[in-house]
Structure 1
């Protein structure tokens, strides 16, 4: 349903909720509905001090952004450190060994298929069931 079809008070409540992100998290974590909060909002209004607990400060938001950026940089540094430790010659040697093993497996399969084709096909005698 689009926002234009909603009642104006519901649209105002949606805007209020967008300004209070902790309220969104609480509803999702507790798996409660929006109805009790909407009723409280209608009765108490937006200026009630009880809503301050759900509002994030700009400082908290900035700190969270800085922490996520720092974590991203740390992860990037770890990945780059692991990439620097790769020995490409060893990796190439392992790939060469794996390729040789696969060639051996192919040869074994080809040998077994050749032996299977050389064996004469067995003729199965019909089985007769006797009734007593």
Structure 2
């Protein structure tokens, strides 16, 4: 059994896609993209999306490689911005809203407890403030 037969069908499709778009391989070798990033983009937009048309070509064509290198250098700032956006999108994808809500609730409870402890050490004349149930994120000035 060959290693290609053991791969998931989507990975096999992606390998074929990469063979049809050899300039993407140059992007990976140049360090401007990773295979994981390309696979995720390919999974989202598909292999027929227009963004892939610029990567169809021959690896041995030196002029195309130079053109890709020039584009890489010219768009360094836009790539850093898109990389940042990609990282943010990745974080949002991985974020579990239920876990975030649970952590915020625990944080709110901790703040309320800290405020109660601080109030217990304040002067007795401030007991009127202690009776008020303020939101845990509101801070009082005395």
* Band of TM-score, shorter chain: 0.3 to 0.5
TM-score normalised to structure 2 length? 0.38
Higher relative contact order (CA 8 A, sep 6+): 1
Between structure 1 and structure 2, the one with the greater Rg is: 1
TM-score normalised to structure 1 length? 0.41
